[in-house]
Amino acid sequence: MIRAGFLSLVVAVVLCTTGCVLITPYEAEQKQADQERLADNEDTDGGGCVPTSEVCDGEDNNCSGDVDDVDELLLPHWYVDNDGDGWGSIHIEPVLACEASGYVDKIGDCDDNDAARHPGISEECDDIDNDCDGAIDEELPTTILYFDADSDGAGNDDMEQTTCHDAAAEYPAGFIETGGDCDDLDPKVSPTEPEVCNDKDDNCDGSIDEGLPTSTFYVDSDGDGWGDEADQGSELCEGLPNYANKAEDCDDADPLVNPDAAEICDGEDNDCADGADDKSEHWYKYYYDGDQDNYAHMAMVQYGCLADAGFIEATEHDCDDDNDQINPGIAEETCNEADDNCNGLIDEDLETTTYYTDNDGDGQGDESASFEWCVTSTPTGFSDNKKDCDDGDNTIYRGAPEICDGMINDCKGAGPADDGLTVELWPDNDGDGFGDSEAVAIDGCVNDYPSYVANNIDCDDSVETVNVALPFWPDEDSDGFGNDSEDPTIRCDDGGKWAQNNLDCLDTDKATNPGAVEDCGPDDLDCDGDPYNGDFLRYVDGDGDGVGVYDTGVLEFGCIENGYSAVGGDCSDTDDAIHPYTVEICGNGADDNCDGQGCLAGDNDVGTMGGAYEVVDDTGADNLGSAFAAGSFTDHYAGSHLELVVGAPRADTGLPDGHIYLVDAAEVPSGAIDKISSRKTTESGLYSGGTSMGRTLAAAGDMREFDDFPLDDLVVGAPYTGTDYGNPGATYIIFAEPEPWRWGKQTIWDVDDDELSDNGNFDIEVVYGDENGDSFGFAVDAKHDANG
């Protein structure tokens, strides 16, 4: 670690490069303080010791009893002086002490092993920093030297250095005092050399080949003594390499091509005259080999130095130069009707067979036209027999079947022709392929009468589009399906009540045919033999009570037959006394009407109802209690009391016009039902009575959801409601509160014993069945998704 005193030294050394004695600022300040303290204490001690700062003087300055016990910060710096020249080394850390042997108080020696090197000494020419000022051989006379790489006595001006030496023997190796060499790698180039013709600046005067006589020369790249004919020429001195004074060389990259060369067959214009290979005395004779079998057609000749593609040197003559399997080199003749070996003979020395011409291609040859041939399989157009008696007709040959053509086909010579092969033919005047049904037939061959056909089923032989008489069945109901119990009639289609099928099982009813949709009624509407294969949503009804269960796994479609019902909602499908449309029986432990509530009872608290209600017929209404619906239907109690709607579908005598009754369950804890109000049905201007309204009921919740507090809307079934087209049935949707914009409307419970009507003052909606006998409203439900 560098001491604080040495830090002061470092600063001082920077300022003391030529030698000096250092006194630290701290030491000077202490001396000044001591002097002031001595002055202040003078004559105050009566001759005693006056303490001052301790310094290196052999005295006890601070009166401590010790001599020179100087504070480290006040100790002087001593520098090692190994060479004894009186100067301390700048490279070694000083020591702090009052005295130090072998040390001096001056710093600045740059080489403490050489007493001849220290500040203040004179600089000498010895490549050494003698006076330790950081410079070598400074302020001495110097000489500029140049490096002479080619030793020609002239050095390179770009490679110079100075020296203080005055003797050449002391110069650095390769350096001389003379410069000016412009090519220090060529000893023949220097300022003292004479200029010669070599495309160089020999004397380094900045000019090339100056002062020499010149002529026009041309580039001669191939060195054949002839310049490139494309060169424009240059004025040059004589003797430069790759130049010539003649310029007619047509290929200056080939020394064998020039005006002095002899023309030879090599594809080159050797003599630079008249083109390549232009001397016919050197040409060769070649022959064409078209099939490339190495045998030439000797009549097709070419002359030249080189053969063009397809030409070869002379061979034996190829007699078929388009077939490489035919040439003089073929060893054996092949049976192919060709001279394979080009000896002038065809298929010689081969076994032959006699063949007969078969011009009509019926497999039998003409005895009068034969020839010998070496082939072993019968050639096309020939036969190996001579059985044909008429080689111009392929339907006539030995063994041919007799056909209706007026000829004897089997070559036996016996007749008659066409024996038993003629047919009845009728004229086909309109060319539609069907003969006139009213014409007289003729007997003959079909091919002999092109305007006749072998049928007579054309209803109108003058019109091409009216032709075939086909079987038709009566179609009395014009539904496109013929009567399946009638026989067909062969006739033309005249657009009457006829059909080309007999698929109608009831031809007096247009709604009954194979295209009809089955409605699961007693009639087979689609004529498939099964009236009960419709496509209706149905529920499994295991107990046969007319109400099926919702949860059957998947929706099922079919007819409503035994074991099924169109109405869902049964909560116990094994007990036909339990379903949504029966009366609740109290005390039997069962939810008889599947409403999830058991017996309806109450003691002013709907949530903790106890006891039971018994439905008794004190209203005079038949079937009272056939259906119940529980909920909050009016705002009389702001939804705090349970209210009941009770159905009585046969309340009136005669035609059973149903009634419904509203009952406050909280006010009548037991006994007979006291009605708050009741309603009956009527349809203004239409058939009324016998509606059976109230046969089914369902609380639907608040379907509009705009009320201040939710009241229950009501769904009421009236399955026998009549209209002007019969008794389709109806379902009433009764809203607990009128819509705000329907001013003047009332709820049905505001007036007692009034009639319901979809065009009256009540806020209701009525939905009717589609057809007479639908019994729409026979069963109703709410809060269930019936179709998935």
Phi, psi angle pair for 750, to nearest 5°: -70, -25
173: pLDDT strictly greater than 60:
yes
110: pLDDT strictly greater than 90:
yes
Cα–Cα distances in angstroms (integers) from residue 324 to residues 122, 350, 672, in the given order: 109, 22, 126
For residues 578 and 594, is the Cβ–Cβ distance under 8 A? Answer: yes
Per-residue pLDDT at 91: 92
Phi, psi angle pair for 647, to nearest 5°: -95, 145
Per-residue pLDDT at 754: 62
Give the CA angle between residues 746, 749, 754 to the nearest 5°. 90
Per-residue pLDDT at 600: 45
Mean of the pLDDT values across residues 173-199? Answer: 90
Q: What percent of the chain lies above the pLDDT cut of 70?
A: 75
Residue 614: pLDDT band by 50, 70, 90 thresholds? Answer: very low
Q: Which residues contact 397 (CB under 8 A, 6 or more apart)?
A: 360, 362, 363, 364, 387, 388, 389, 390, 409, 410, 411
727: pLDDT strictly greater than 60:
yes
pTM for the full model? Answer: 0.29
Q: Which three-class secondary structure state does DSSP give residue 304? A: strand
Q: Which of 277-281, 312-316, 696-700 has the lowest mean pLDDT?
A: 277-281
659: pLDDT strictly greater than 50:
yes
Q: Could you tell me which residues are beta bridge partners of residue 197?
A: none
Tokens matching residue 236 = 């040059």
Per-residue pLDDT at 132: 93
610: pLDDT strictly greater than 60:
no
Phi, psi angle pair for 712, to nearest 5°: -90, 130
**Mean pLDDT, the chain, whole residue set:** 77
Provide the total of helices (H) and of strands (E) in the chain, helices listed first.
2, 36
87: pLDDT strictly greater than 90:
yes
Residue with the bigger pLDDT between 625 and 47: it is 625
Assign 3-state DSSP to the chain and report helix, strand, coil percentages, each to 5: 5, 20, 75
CA distance 237 to 208: 10
Sheet of 214-219, strands arranged across: 234-237, 214-219, 243-244
Q: What percent of the chain lies above the pLDDT cut of 90?
A: 12
Q: Which of 55-64, 66-75, 184-193, 437-446 has the lowest mean pLDDT?
A: 66-75
Q: Which three-class secondary structure state does DSSP give residue 372? A: strand
Q: Is beta strand 175-176 parallel, antiparallel or unpaired with respect to 143-147?
A: antiparallel
User: Considering only CA atoms, which of 759, 763, 767, 764 is closest in space to residue 684?
Assistant: 759
Mean of the pLDDT values across residues 136-165? Answer: 88
644: pLDDT strictly greater than 80:
no
pLDDT tens across 288-338, in order? 999 999 999 988 988 888 788 989 988 889 999 999 999 998 888 888 889
CA distance 616 to 624: 8
User: Considering only CA atoms, which of 672, 673, 690 is closest in space to residue 681?
Assistant: 690
Q: Which residues contact 759 (CB under 8 A, 6 or more apart)?
A: 684
User: Considering only CA atoms, which of 531, 479, 533 is closest in space to residue 502?
Assistant: 479
CA distance 315 to 784: 107
Residue with the bigger pLDDT between 156 and 239: it is 156
For residues 425 and 443, is the Cβ–Cβ distance under 8 A? Answer: yes
23: pLDDT strictly greater than 60:
no
pLDDT tens across 449-475, in order? 889 998 887 878 888 777 776 788 899
Mean of the pLDDT values across residues 733-759? Answer: 61
Mean of the pLDDT values across residues 23-50? Answer: 58
Per-residue pLDDT at 771: 79
Q: Which of 276-280, 440-444, 676-680 has the lowest mean pLDDT?
A: 676-680
Per-residue pLDDT at 683: 44
